[in-house]
Amino acid sequence: MKIINNYIKFYYKDLNKFKLLKRIHTYYNNKINLISTNSLNKFYQNHIEYSLSIINLIKFLPNSKIMDAGTGGGFPGIPLSIIFKNTKFYLVDSIKKKILILKKIIKVLKIKNVYLINDRIENIKQKYDFIISRYLTNINKFYNMVRNNINKKSNHYLKNGIIYLTGVKNNEIKINKNFYIKDLYEIYKKQFYINKKIIYIPI
């Protein structure tokens, strides 16, 4: 949190929301596998800090629309929605049980800027400024899956596009001239972040 605090000033109530988010995940993870059970021991690093690492690349503008594709336990969408309160986050997952728990989470945390969609990504027709995700599938496959869902008109200092969190080596990514890759280990200097990257693909 100290690292992320260099980029965004936290309010006390925001820190409490992150603490409560861990408690809720710990409770519900016994009922449905929202996240890896082992990762609960390092919840703030593996899920909060990692989700908010996107702040190193971009700060989302008010009223922009962000799709979190294959959100699972609500990452990276929910932590980002706590920080960017005036940005609209659309969390998409095909598993209804996960969406129902996420509905309870955003109600308890009193998050007003998150919208839940229970559907397959391939069925989504709406346009978004950015599409974010982590570990969903091969980045090249993911690009082809969502590229038609990106709004061509950009308002951010970065062109609209895909922001993808992944933990693979560079030689596993088919690089082309449009890919921008940021190595998170260079920022955080923690073992967890070895090989973890943000991949940005503009429209």
- Tell me the three state secondary structure of residue 19: helix
The residue-averaged pLDDT of 63-81 equals 96
Per the listing, tokens 């861990």 go with: 22
- CA-CA distances (angstroms) from residue 49 to 17, 166, 192? 14, 14, 11
Rg (CA), the chain: 16
Beta bridge partners of residue 160, listed in sequence order: none
Mean per-residue pLDDT over the chain, rounded: 89
Biggest CA pair distance of the chain:
44
Interaxial angle between packed helices 96-108 and 12-28, expressed in degrees from 0 to 180 and rounded to the nearest 10: 150
Beta bridge partners of residue 130, listed in sequence order: 66, 161
What pLDDT, on the 0 to 100 scale, is given for residue 1?
A: 62
Cα 131–chain centre separation: 9
What's the CATH code of the domain at 15?
3.40.50.150
**DSSP structural state of residue 150:** B
How many other CB atoms sit within 10 Å of the CB of residue 2? Answer: 7
Please give the share of the chain, as a percent, with pLDDT higher than 90: 65
Q: How far is the C-alpha of 124 from the C-alpha of 66, rounded, in Å?
A: 13
pLDDT surpasses 80 at 160: yes
pTM (2 decimals)? 0.92
End-to-end CA distance of the chain, in Å?
31
Q: Yes or no: say if 34 and 58 are a contact pair by the CB < 8 Å rule.
A: no
pLDDT surpasses 80 at 177: no
Over residues 76-94, the pLDDT tens digits come to 999 999 999 999 999 999 9
- Tell me the three state secondary structure of residue 180: strand
For the four alpha carbons of 145, 65, 75 and 29, in that order, the dihedral sign comes to negative
The DSSP result for 98-115, as a single string, is HHHHHHHHHHHTT--SEE
| Tally of domains in the chain | 1
Listed in order, strand segments (DSSP E) in 19-178 are 65-69, 88-93, 114-118, 130-134, 161-166
Structural domain of residue 180, as residue ranges?
A: 4-202
